[in-house]
Structure 1
Amino acid sequence: MNSTRRDFTELTMMSKEKWNDEELFYFQHALSQLLQYVNPEGLSILHEINREMHSRD
């Protein structure tokens, strides 16, 4: 596990291609768990995360 975690605000200001696998997995899981409370912008971020995760398979 990476001992230096980047803040979600910092991460959202950069391409998902620059996120590491741990960050993608963590925020994909967190946003999925909160899906019923996520606004359209959050849903868009979740879709971007999912696309990036699938592109790395």
Structure 2
Amino acid sequence: MYNGRDMTELSMISKKDWNDHELTYFHHSFQQIVPYLNAEGQSIQREIVEEIQNRGGLRNTRE
């Protein structure tokens, strides 16, 4: 279960300031609803993917 900052809070900060757990969780969540995303949602998903790529992928974030 995700226990962290919600999208309202995260939307106010750069994706560079998100931790790996937040990127992983929201990347997975957005993947589940891709067919239903509007242009803004698609843009957010793209930014999340770009940040994951900039970090060289994601490590195991389960704790």
User: Above 0.5 in TM-score?
Assistant: yes
Unaligned runs of 5+ in 1: none
1:3-57 deviation digits (Å, cap 9, x = unpaired): 5x10111101110000000000100110011001111100000000000000001
Q: TM-score, normalised by structure 1?
A: 0.90
Give the length in aligned residue pairs: 56
Q: TM-score, normalised by structure 2?
A: 0.82
Unaligned runs of 5+ in 2: 57-63
Identity %: 49
Two-structure CA RMSD over aligned residues (Å)? 1.7
Is the helix fraction higher in 1 or 2? 1
Point out 4+ residue stretches in structure 1 off by more than 3 angstroms: none
